A and B are shown apart, each in its own frame.
Chain A
Amino acid sequence: MIGGEVKSSLGQSRGLTLPALLVGMALSTGLIAALIDVSVQLIATSTRVAHRADFLATVAHSIGALAATARSLSVEESTSAGTDISLRPCEPGLHPVGVWVLSPREINCASGLPDAPTSTVLLSSQILPCEDSCAGVFQRRRLWYRRAYAWRPGDERGALMVKEFDRQGAYGRAEMMAAGLVAWVGSNIISAAGEEGVQLETDWRLEEGVFWDDEEDGLSLNLTLFPSALSDQ
């Protein structure tokens, strides 16, 4: 630069003054800074949206699995209200078919389940067609319950868990259906037609900052399930 002008290697003036160059550089720097800032915000928003979509899809899958448990029963197969039934899922043999809300204390093999007085478990028992493992049909019995933590003890996120009984009545490791279940209250209900069903009130929450401002309270889903034969679209 000579005399405030930028010259090429051949010495030809390009007509750019030093102040113009400085202003241009300042504008470029400002533009780059703004672009970086916006990019960071877009990446953060995309991450939050992806987490949220994952969370919602997982909750939807879990609710769908719960509903499918009731849906796969026919009304004729379900145990009618008032019938004296014995819910001993840990014992071998055939069991009543349906869905029930129980206290862990009502299950004779509930060790390993949350046993706080307020906690409830959902017992589902359904008849399903066999695939490769057996011929005809088999009975699938599962316990659905809320665990106080999701990933590690003390994280206070809660999770919807399910345990499946084998034919001898024992169950193995629990499977986590969805993390973020902060409240789970269930009750048994009876329809006008005398069918037994369950009512579940569930509250879900993802990590801080993942929901939008209007979802600070998380997501409350109330579900009423009755055994029936259904189809959806």
Chain B
Amino acid sequence: MWLPFVGLIIGIILGLLTEIRIPEEYSNYLSIAVLAALDTLFGGIRAYLQNIYDDKVFVSGFFFNIILAASLAFLGVHLGVDLYLAAVFAFGVRLFQNIAVIRRIILTKWSPNKEKVEKN
């Protein structure tokens, strides 16, 4: 259960240590990719908690979402419309929903668990 968090921390440490900086004009794409990745990550956690987790769905969703978001941002830049805002909005809403679902699941898991523990 804690392995993903370890992975996350390792990734952050690696990223900070390598001191990679991408050009300013591409930071938009990266930010939206990060958002998409976060969304997928939380979606994965939620699915895991709901016991409907599927490895293929998760991995494919991760890459597909990132690519979709980046290409949407790219298209927006070329059309002159801030299309990446749409992606930001969509992913933001989903992020909140996912986190809310996770919170509820954890809450419901916690309270009966305690009772169960007490009962046992």
Asked if A and B bind, the verdict is no
- Interface set of A (CB-CB < 8 Å, partner B): none
> Could you list which residues of chain B lie within 8 angstroms of chain A, going by C-beta atoms?
none
